[in-house]
């Protein structure tokens, strides 16, 4: 591995920005898609981690021509190091995870789009930056050519995707439809009366909650046009963009927009291909990592895993799931070495403290960030006059490593027992200072921060005198509060290192095996008497892998694994507890038992929608659901053997008022089945009646092949559904509106296959009730965060996998199952969990058990208990479960009797702070 | 896949790429008791997601 020189010592750099201010060399800023400039010494973006500068050696004047060194001259921290050299490191690791990501398709030079030539044609990545408040226009939607506010904007879909003519990418990039909707929505938010149109072939909003998002966009007046735009042309005088298209009535329309956004697809960057080569990992013809549906984060090389867009275009939640799955799979091979290389910091024992506060105040200059505005010397002088303050220090950068040592020594020398740091925000720096207190033998909660930068010098830069007075106020408030703080004991809860998995489908089996392979005991609970769930009805995956043998293998591995206790014909009837300490009652065919476990994974699956009465289903013996069709076809049913013509009808029960979601798997299934029928009997006619073909990602290849083989695709709209009539004893007529011919089309067919919706399993809601988990509007499990926590619940220690979360194909269910196990393992691999000590605390003398706090607690951490009172009377009062309490303080604000408070934020402490604020 | 665990198994993982995928994988591996080397080509982690303004379908800030 080679480490590039940064030329900035990250230990010393305090990110004051003086270097960049003085640097004379301007460079195109890649973060803003080169729509703005940065300097040759720079921080990639304002919130970058690490928040440290770096010198771009390709552009630095000194490194290029030997002259300048301005940054070095002005750096107040002495952090510039031009002697920095490239290093070659050799690392010995147990496993490798590749996550190099994607690059967007570059449409430069393609004449039809005119990108790079017409100034008002931009890519979606550039649009992203134009919409951002931290972008080159501070979020104002103005066009590049003349800085005119954009009033009419068009988005062109599938640029560099689903296109083998102008790009080499036959695949669908999966995310562009929904990101275009998002950008159009945000743009409308930025510019009142903006007209936004999206030109698309198929609207692919197949993700969780995406269909509703699409409907919302339509409601906002965003115009969706199903057509292909042939080419763009500039309008000379105005620099607007002109183009023609054919509308849904077959009429040619000429139109003009202020700006056109090209919704560019996702591709593997050359650097990632190089990485694959070095790692010895095979890529497929679309330059993505090849994987199997049952091993979605594996690669062609054992011990090397991949996640994210490296194995195909995908959205953020899928990427995050794969990342957790890859971590789980990579570490599974290394389980015998768990905790062998990790280190924990050791701290000296805590010193007892005197009741009398001895407060130390450390005031930070933050380079010139604070000291350039606030008269820090005056603030320091003032701090010395405050009660109980025995030490006041000033530091150029209080957060630097050497200052931590200084603070530690001063605490010891002067016997400080409370510390105030007047500097920046506790959000980023409180953990650092708390560590310093611990290192000095002080309890970490005897600390407070006064934010005299973000809330003072930065926002009052023009009024230095007032800012100085405000800094004094803030310091006085902190000193008043910190004097009343007491040491809080650390809280740790033990972890029962056993997992529970509910649901024995493919997701549940994979989760259970992953946990067991990591060495943990698992209870796997399945309601029926067989394992396999919905996958037992599946014939093969979208990649063509047969499902049945894979299921058999999983089944055998589950049954033979000594760490897995399999509970068939069983359900969970009751549960209590919290992360690390759950107790669930499993009711089996003969008896019920209570099991103790540290984590739970809910993988209760879903069901197929039964289209009773729709399209002659139930009344004709030749109308089937997709699953029935697969089975009969496989068994060689007579009706299938005799049939010549087939009609598939998509979106049966999906994307409608009752179920405003896409079932994600049905388009690919119909295309795959149609393709096989066509291959078997090229003379037979196969029709697919669809609303939008959603063969996302590399599934697009199947769609392309099906069209090549002569499968006929006919688009229908939701308000004009096809009609199926029985016309002959064994034949039916399907009528659908033909958009090209503008007349109803009647198809005689032998078989009708209905692509029915995936609907939630009612058992999921029952279970959600037992574990107090949220369910979304469609009846699926609600994750903690749509993007970043796609397998977690808001409650710690419980995770989800598979169809219970939302409709998905096998490979995605397996990835989520591995991810859920991985998340559970991060809990199970410790014997205890340390918690923040700022928790709700009951004042027993004041609490009379009115229970008002019970109702408001968002974490259900409070319960009512009976206690023995005086004279044999039973009194009720509340009790707090520390593991569930997050210290939010809602209970404290609700309690009418001062019966509960959050440690570190008591009424007395906060009042002292308020009084001090008003005392100035 | 099962193979014989020898004494030399290393309790460390190399993660190449510090975007949202690499960051999540690194956190999970580290929180499960393994030492992680997170390698990123650029001067900061964050990847493509850090360049996004909002995320669908909640319109949450990507940062």
Predicted local distance difference test score (pLDDT) of residue A234: 95
Q: Is the dihedral of CA A815, A818, A820, A822 positive or negative?
A: negative
Are residue A115 and residue A162 in the same domain, yes or no? yes
**Beta strand pairing call for A874-880 and A862-868:** antiparallel
pLDDT higher than threshold 70 for residue A767:
yes
**Chain center to CA of A450:** 33
Report CB contact under 8 Å: A826, B28: yes
Write the residue in A50, A97, A210 that is nearest to B25 by C-beta: A97
pLDDT per position as a tens digit, A860-881? 899 999 988 777 788 899 999 9
- Residues A622 and A753 reside in one and the same domain: yes
Strand partners, A577: A582
Give me the pLDDT at residue A16, please: 81
Please, what's the b/e burial string for A547-556 (b: 16 or more CB within 10 A of its CB; e: otherwise)? beebbeebbe
Q: Measured between CB atoms, does A43 come within 8 Å of chain B?
A: yes
CA pair distance A481, A490, nearest whole angstrom: 21
Residue A747 DSSP SS3: strand
Question: pLDDT-derived band of residue A755, with 50, 70 and 90 as boundaries?
Answer: very high
CB-based contact B55 A326, cutoff 8 Å: no
Q: Residue B58: inside a domain, yes or no? A: no
B32 at A interface, C-beta within 8 A: yes
Asked, for residue A69, whether it belongs to a domain, the answer is yes
CA-based nearest residue to A332, from B14, B39, B11: B11
Q: How far, in Å, CA of A902 to CA of A908, rounded?
A: 11
- pLDDT tens-digit map of A736-754: 998 878 899 999 999 999 9
Using the predicted structure, report yes or no on whether residue A667 has a pLDDT greater than 70.
Answer: yes
How many CB atoms neighbour CB A171 within 10 A? 27
**Cβ <8 Å between A49 and B45:** yes
Q: Which of B48, B28, B40, B39 is nearest to A309 (CA)?
A: B48
| Residue A251 located in a structural domain | yes
A368 with A424, same domain: the answer is: yes
Chain segment A841-857, per-residue pLDDT in tens: 999 999 999 999 999 99
Give dist(CA A172, CA A692) in Å, integer: 13
Task: Tally the domains of chain B.
Answer: 1
- pLDDT tens, position by position, A208-264: 999 999 999 999 999 999 998 989 999 999 999 999 998 877 889 999 999 999 999
At A214-226, the pLDDT tens digits run 999 999 999 999 9
Residue A806, domain member (yes or no): yes
Structure tokens at A218: 């339509």
Q: Do B19 and A1 touch (CB under 8 A)?
A: no
What lies within 8 Å, CB to CB, of A189 at 6+ separation is none
Bridge partners of A392, per DSSP, are A361
Q: Is A101 on the interface with B (CB under 8 A)?
A: yes
Q: Is B4 on the interface with A (CB under 8 A)?
A: no
| A227 and A113 housed in the same domain | yes
* Measured distance CA(A556)–CA(A559) in Å, rounded: 5
The C-alpha atoms of residue A507 and residue A485 are separated, in whole angstroms, by 49
Do A176 and A234 fall into the same domain? yes
pLDDT in tens, A492-522: 999 999 999 999 999 999 999 999 999 999 9
- The tens digit of pLDDT for each residue in A381-397 reads 999 999 999 999 999 88
Q: Is residue B18 part of a domain?
A: yes
pLDDT, residue A134, reads: 83
The verdict on residue B20 lying in a domain is yes
Residue A708 neighbours by CB distance under 10 Å: 10
Q: What local confidence, expressed as pLDDT, does residue A801 receive? A: 98
In Å, how far are A27, A34, A44, A45, A126 from A31, measured between CA atoms?
Answer: 11, 7, 7, 7, 10
Reduce the secondary structure of A184-243 to three states and give it as a string.
HHHHHHHCCCCEEEEEECCCCCCCCCHHHHHHHHHHCCCEEEECCCCCCEECCCCCCEEE
Domain final residue, candidates A92, A120, A153: A92
Q: What does the DSSP assignment read for A347-384?
A: -PPPPP--SS--EEEEEE-TTTTTTTTS-HHHHHHHHH
Q: Looking at residue A565, what is its pLDDT?
A: 98
The reported pLDDT for the residue numbered A673 is 97
List CB contacts of A102: < 8 A, sequence separation 6 or more: A266, A267, A268, A269, A272, A308, A309, A310, A313, B48
| A296 belongs to a structural domain | yes
| CB-CB neighbours of A844 under 10 Å | 11
The per-residue pLDDT for A860 is 84
- Compute the Cα dihedral for A538, A539, A540, A545 and give only its sign: positive
**Does A186 lie in the same domain as A225?**
yes
| Residues pairing with A494 in the sheet | A832
Is the distance from CB of A230 to CB of A112 less than 8 angstroms?
yes
Contacts of B59 in chain A (CB under 8 A): 182, 185-186
Those of residues 784-813 in A touching chain B at CB distance below 8 A are 786-788
Pairing mode, strands A37-39 and A26-28: antiparallel
The confidence score (pLDDT) of residue A726 equals 95
Please give the tally of structural domains in chain A: 7
Which domain-ending residue is among A41, A64, A92? Answer: A92
In a domain, B47, yes or no: no
B40 touching chain A per CB within 8 A: no
* % pLDDT > 70, chain A: 100
Contact A194, A167 (CB under 8 A): no
Whether residue A343 lies inside any domain: the answer is no
Burial A277-306 (b: 16+ CB within 10 A, else e): eebebebeebbbbbbebbbbbbbeeebbbb
CATH number of domain containing A19: 3.30.70
Question: pLDDT tens-digit profile of A902-920?
Answer: 999 999 999 999 999 998 7
How far apart, in whole angstroms, are the C-alpha atoms of residue A227 and residue A224?
9
For chain B, the maximum distance between any two Cα atoms, rounded to a whole number of angstroms, is 49
Side-chain-side CA neighbours of residue A67 (13 Å):
2
Assign B32 to helix, strand or coil. coil
Q: How far is A507 from chain B (nearest CA, A)?
A: 18
Instruction: Give me the count of residues in chain A.
Output: 920
Using the predicted structure, report yes or no on whether residue A530 has a pLDDT greater than 60: yes
- Please indicate if any CB of chain A lies within 8 Å of the CB of B38: no
- Tell me how far the alpha carbon of residue A287 is from its chain's centroid: 25
- What number of other Cβ atoms are within 10 A of residue A320's Cβ? 27
Q: Is A220 on the interface with B (CB under 8 A)?
A: no
Confidence of residue A346 (pLDDT cuts 50, 70, 90): confident
Q: Please check whether residue B59 lies inside any domain of the structure.
A: no
**Judgement on whether residues A714 and A807 belong to the same structural domain of the protein:** no
Helical axes A124-131 vs A176-190, angle rounded to 10°: 30
Q: Name the residue range of residue B28's domain.
A: 13-41
Q: How confident is the model at residue B1 (pLDDT cuts 50, 70, 90)?
A: very low
| Residue A782: both structure tokens together | 């609600």
Pairing mode of beta strands A54-55, A41-42: antiparallel
Which residue pairs from A552-556 have beta carbons closer than 8 angstroms and sit at least 24 positions apart in sequence? A554/A506, A554/A509, A554/A510, A554/A513, A555/A509, A555/A531
Q: What is the pLDDT of residues A701-745, one digit of tens each?
A: 999 999 999 999 999 999 999 999 999 889 999 999 988 788 999
**A33–B51 CB contact, under 8 Å:** yes
The residue written with tokens 């013509």 in the block is A645
DSSP classification of residue A909: H
> Hey, are the CB atoms on B15 and A97 less than 8 Å from each other?
yes
| Residue A908 belongs to domain spanning | 840-918
CB pairs under 8 A between A and B: 221
Whether residue A230 sits in one domain with residue A131: yes
Same domain, A397 and A467: yes
Question: A303 near A333, Cβ under 8 Å?
Answer: yes
Eight-state DSSP code of residue A617:
B
Specify the CATH number for the domain of residue A386.
3.40.50
Interchain CB distance below 8 Å, A786 and B29: no
Evaluate whether residue B60 is within a structural domain. no
Q: Which of B25, B34, B42 sits opposite A342 (nearest CB)?
A: B34
Largest CA distance in chain A: 101
Predicted pLDDT at B5: 47
What is residue A250's predicted lDDT score, i.e. its pLDDT? Answer: 81
Asked if residue B22 is part of any domain, the answer here is yes
Q: Which residue of B has its CA nearest to A209?
A: B57
Q: Are strands A832-835 and A491-494 parallel, antiparallel or unpaired?
A: antiparallel
- Measured between beta carbons, the chain A residues lying within 8 angstroms of B31 are 826, 829
Read off the pLDDT of residues A67-104 as tens digits, 9 standing for 90 and up: 999 999 999 989 999 999 999 999 999 999 999 999 99
Helices A506-517 and A316-332 cross at an angle (nearest 10°) of: 40
> Would you put residue A741 in left (φ > 0), alpha (ψ -120 to 50) or beta?
alpha
Select from A323, A339, A340 the Cβ nearest to the Cβ of B25.
A323
In a domain, B5, yes or no: no
| Residue where one domain finishes, among candidates A265, A282, A297 | A265
Q: In this structure, what token pair is assigned to residue A45?
A: 């973006």
CA–CA gap between residue A361 and residue A450 (Å, rounded): 10
Q: If 0-12 CB within 10 Å is exposed, 13-18 middle and 19+ buried, where does residue A94 land?
A: buried
User: Looking at the domain assignment, is residue A346 inside a domain?
Assistant: no
Question: What separation in angstroms does the CA of A389 have from each of A358, A381, A574, A645, A855?
Answer: 6, 11, 55, 90, 42
Question: Are the Cβ atoms of A96 and B57 closer than 8 angstroms?
Answer: no
What CATH code is carried by the domain that includes residue A517?
Answer: 3.50.50.60
Q: Over chain A, what is the mean pLDDT?
A: 95
B7 pLDDT tier (thresholds 50, 70, 90): low
CB atoms within 10 A of CB A404: 17
Q: Is A524 helix (H, G, I), strand (E, B) or coil?
A: strand
Q: A11 and A73 share a domain?
A: yes
* Same-domain status, A578 and A619: no
pLDDT, tens digit (0-9, with 9 covering 90-100), for A604-655? 999 999 999 999 999 999 999 999 999 999 999 999 999 999 999 999 999 9
| Alpha carbon distances (Å) from A708 to A153, A347, A541, A678 | 35, 69, 21, 10
The tokens describing A623, both together, are 């109308």
Q: Cβ contact (<8 Å) for A324 and B20? A: no
Model confidence at B3, in pLDDT bands (50, 70, 90)?
very low
Chain B contact for A660 (CB, 8 A cutoff): no
Angstroms from B61 CA to nearest CA on chain A: 9
For A376-474, strand residue ranges (E) read 389-395, 418-423, 447-451
pLDDT bin (cut points 50, 70, 90) of residue A37 is very high
Domain identity same for A254 and A114:
yes
Cβ of B57 and A327 within 8 Å? no
Least confident of A137-141, A317-321, A813-817, B15-19: A137-141
Q: Is residue A491 in some structural domain?
A: no
Contact between A320 and B12 using a beta-carbon 8 Å cutoff: no
Residue A246 contacts B where some CB pair is shorter than 8 Å: no
């Amino acid at each position: 591995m080679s480490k590039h020189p940064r030329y900035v010592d990250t230990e010393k750099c305090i990110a004051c920005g003086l270097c960049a201010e003085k640097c004379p060399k301007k460079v195109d800023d890649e973060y803003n898609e080169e729509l703005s400039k940065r300097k040759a010494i720079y921080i990639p973006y304002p919130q970058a981690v690490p928040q440290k500068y770096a010198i771009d050696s390709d552009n630095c004047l000194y490194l290029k021509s030997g002259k300048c060194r301005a940054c070095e001259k002005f750096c107040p921290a002495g952090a510039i190091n031009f002697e920095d050299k490239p290093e070659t490191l050799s690392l010995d690791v147990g496993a490798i995870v590749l996550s190099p990501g994607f690059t967007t398709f570059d449409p430069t030079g393609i004449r039809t789009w005119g990108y790079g030539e017409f100034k008002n044609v931009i890519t979606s990545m550039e649009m992203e930056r134009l919409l951002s408040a931290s972008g080159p226009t501070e979020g104002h939607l103005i066009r590049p050519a003349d800085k005119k506010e954009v009033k009419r904007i068009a988005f062109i879909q599938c640029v560099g995707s689903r296109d083998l003519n102008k790009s080499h990418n036959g695949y669908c990039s999966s995310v562009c439809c929904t990101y275009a909707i998002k950008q159009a929505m945000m743009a409308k938010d930025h510019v009142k009366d903006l007209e936004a149109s999206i030109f698309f072939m198929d609207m692919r909003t197949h993700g969780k909650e995406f269909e509703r998002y699409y409907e919302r966009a339509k409601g906002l007046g965003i115009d969706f046009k199903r057509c292909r735009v042939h080419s763009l042309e500039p309008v000379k005088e105005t620099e607007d963009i002109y183009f023609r298209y054919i509308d849904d009535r077959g009429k040619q329309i000429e139109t003009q927009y202020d700006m056109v956004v090209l919704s560019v697809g996702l591709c593997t960057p050359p650097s990632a291909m190089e990485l694959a080569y070095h790692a010895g990992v095979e890529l497929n013809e679309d330059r993505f990592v090849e994987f199997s549906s049952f091993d979605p984060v594996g690669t062609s090389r054992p011990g090397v895993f991949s996640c994210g867009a490296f194995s195909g275009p995908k959205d953020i939640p899928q990427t995050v799931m794969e990342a957790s799955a890859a971590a789980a799979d990579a570490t599974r091979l290394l389980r015998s070495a768990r905790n062998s290389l990790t280190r924990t910091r050791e701290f000296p024992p805590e010193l007892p403290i005197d009741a009398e506060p001895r407060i130390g105040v450390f005031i930070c200059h933050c380079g010139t960030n604070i000291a350039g505005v606030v008269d820090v010397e005056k603030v320091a002088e003032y701090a010395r006059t405050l009660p109980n303050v025995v030490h006041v220090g000033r530091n150029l950068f209080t957060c630097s490593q050497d200052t931590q040592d200084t603070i530690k020594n001063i605490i010891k020398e002067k016997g400080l027992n409370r510390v105030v740091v007047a500097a920046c925000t506790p959000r980023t720096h409180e953990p650092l200072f708390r560590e310093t207190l611990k290192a000095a033998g002080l309890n970490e909660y005897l600390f407070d921060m006064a934010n005299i930068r973000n809330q003072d010098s930065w926002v009052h830069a023009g009024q230095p005198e007032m800012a100085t007075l405000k800094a004094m106020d803030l310091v006085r408030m902190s000193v008043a509060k910190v004097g009343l703080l007491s040491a809080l004991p650390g809280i740790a809860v033990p972890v029962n290192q056993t997992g529970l998995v509910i649901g024995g489908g493919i997701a549940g089996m994979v989760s259970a095996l992953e946990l067991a392979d990591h060495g943990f005991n698992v209870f796997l609970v399945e309601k029926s008497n067989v394992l396999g769930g919905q996958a037992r009805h599946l014939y093969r995956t979208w990649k063509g892998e047969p499902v049945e043998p894979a299921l058999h293998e999983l089944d055998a591995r589950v049954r033979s694994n000594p760490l897995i206790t399999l509970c068939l014909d069983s359900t969970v009837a009751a549960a209590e507890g919290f992360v690390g300490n759950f107790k669930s009652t499993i009711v089996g065919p003969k008896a019920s038992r209570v099991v103790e476990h540290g984590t739970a994974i809910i993988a209760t699956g879903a069901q197929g929608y039964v289209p009773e009465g729709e399209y002659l289903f139930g009344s004709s013996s030749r109308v089937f659901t997709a699953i029935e069709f697969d089975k009969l076809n496989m068994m060689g049913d007579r009706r299938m053997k005799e049939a010549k013509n087939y009609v598939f009808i998509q979106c049966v029960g999906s994307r409608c008022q009752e179920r405003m979601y896409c079932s994600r798997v049905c388009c690919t299934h119909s295309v795959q089945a149609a393709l096989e029928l066509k291959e078997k009997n090229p003379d037979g006619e196969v029709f697919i009646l669809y609303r939008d073909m959603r063969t996302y990602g590399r599934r697009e290849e199947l769609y392309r092949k099906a069209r090549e083989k002569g499968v006929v695709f006919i688009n229908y709209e939701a308000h004009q559904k096809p009609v199926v009539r029985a016309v002959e004893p064994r034949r039916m007529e399907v009528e659908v509106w033909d958009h090209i011919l503008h007349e109803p089309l009647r198809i005689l067919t032998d078989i009708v296959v209905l692509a029915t919706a995936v609907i939630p399993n009612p058992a999921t809601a029952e279970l959600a009730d037992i574990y107090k988990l949220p369910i979304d509007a469609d009846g699926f499990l609600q994750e903690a965060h749509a993007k970043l926590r796609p397998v977690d619940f808001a409650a710690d220690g419980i995770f989800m996998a598979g169809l219970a979360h939302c409709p998905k194909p096998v490979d995605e269910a397996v990835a989520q199952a591995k991810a859920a196990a991985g998340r559970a393992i991060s809990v199970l691999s410790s014997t205890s969990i340390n918690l923040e000590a700022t928790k709700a605390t009951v004042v027993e003398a004041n609490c009379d058990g009115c229970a008002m706090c019970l109702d408001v607690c968002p974490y259900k951490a409070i319960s009512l208990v009976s206690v023995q009172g005086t004279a044999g009377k039973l009194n009720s009062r509340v009790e707090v479960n520390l593991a569930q309490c997050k210290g939010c303080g809602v209970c404290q604000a609700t309690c009418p009797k001062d019966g509960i408070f959050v440690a570190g934020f008591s009424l007395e402490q906060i009042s002292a702070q308020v009084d001090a604020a008003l005392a100035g | 896949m099962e193979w014989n665990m020898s004494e030399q198994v290393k309790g460390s993982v190399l993660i190449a790429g510090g975007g949202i995928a690499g960051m999540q994988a690194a956190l999970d591996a580290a929180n499960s008791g393994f030492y992680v080397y997170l390698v990123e080509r650029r001067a900061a982690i964050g990847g493509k997601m850090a360049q996004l303004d909002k995320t669908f379908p909640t319109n949450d800030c990507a940062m």
